[in-house]
Amino acid sequence: MTISGEEHTVKRYDKELGHLRGLVLEMGGLAESQINRAIKALDGEDVTLAREVIALDHDVNALEVKADETCVNIIALRQPMGSDLRLVMSLSKTVTDLERIGDEAEKIARMVVHLYDTNATPPDNRLLRDVFNMGRIAAAMLRDCLDTLARMNVDKALDITQADVSLDKELESALRHLITYMIEDPRTIGHAIEVTAMLKALERVGDHCKNIAEYVIFYVKGKDIRHRGIAELTHETAEPAQEARE
């Protein structure tokens, strides 16, 4: 059967959209690897692994540039409408958040190098306890976030927005612990400041995961649910989706 010119164009268009999604998911996989390796490097006091995390950031940045170029080409040449336009816009924003997740992982890795590649006394394990706890939560959020992005699952996207609230509470608790340690022993102040930077980096990873989850909801439901409360989000996303594709 002969394929008409219009059918051929649609197939090429769908292939381009699929390529864009592939680039974004590949970028997400690298960012996830960065976070996991950064936490592992901290746990094992592994400066070599931390340097690998830092080097990996160049690959994430390269994929960001490639994905951005693909988004621009699709918009300029295909002039997407409806859900296709929402998809391209959502993936374009996702690229930015994934790149920033990579930056946060790099910050943690650089801190590991700073802490363990010098003659200075390393931090007490109790100072790092909350970092490992938040690291596990942030890594799980990112893993779920990428699965949500691959499947465009609205229910899982809502779960991620709720998980971000839990991560914020973990940060508050961790900061209280650090204040207590500094009061008990002022000699821990220097390390506590460095640990605070790592905690805030992990909290920002959660924020970026939440952003990506909101982009998924925007694509599937056609609703911008940023800056909404959890109850309002649940109500909004329960409504029927807008047009599938114009």
End-to-end CA distance of the chain: 26
Do 50 and 90 contact (CB within 8 A), yes or no? no
Asked if residue 36 has pLDDT above 90, the reply is yes
pLDDT band for position 227 (50/70/90)? low
pLDDT in tens, 132-142: 999 999 999 99
DSSP result, 220-231 = HH----TT--HH
Q: Is 242 helix (H, G, I), strand (E, B) or coil?
A: coil
Instruction: Report the C-alpha gap between 166 and 180 in whole angstroms.
Output: 21
Roughly what angle, to the nearest 10 degrees, separates helices 189-221 and 154-184?
170
Asked if residue 246 has pLDDT above 80, the reply is no
Instruction: Report the C-alpha gap between 91 and 69 in whole angstroms.
Output: 12
Report pLDDT for 61.
96
Instruction: Report the C-alpha gap between 84 and 80 in whole angstroms.
Output: 6
What is the CATH number assigned to the segment(s) 9-238?
1.20.58.220
Instruction: Report the C-alpha gap between 38 and 111 in whole angstroms.
Output: 10
Report pLDDT for 9.
67
What are the extents of the domains in the chain?
9-238
Mean pLDDT value across residues 143-155? 94
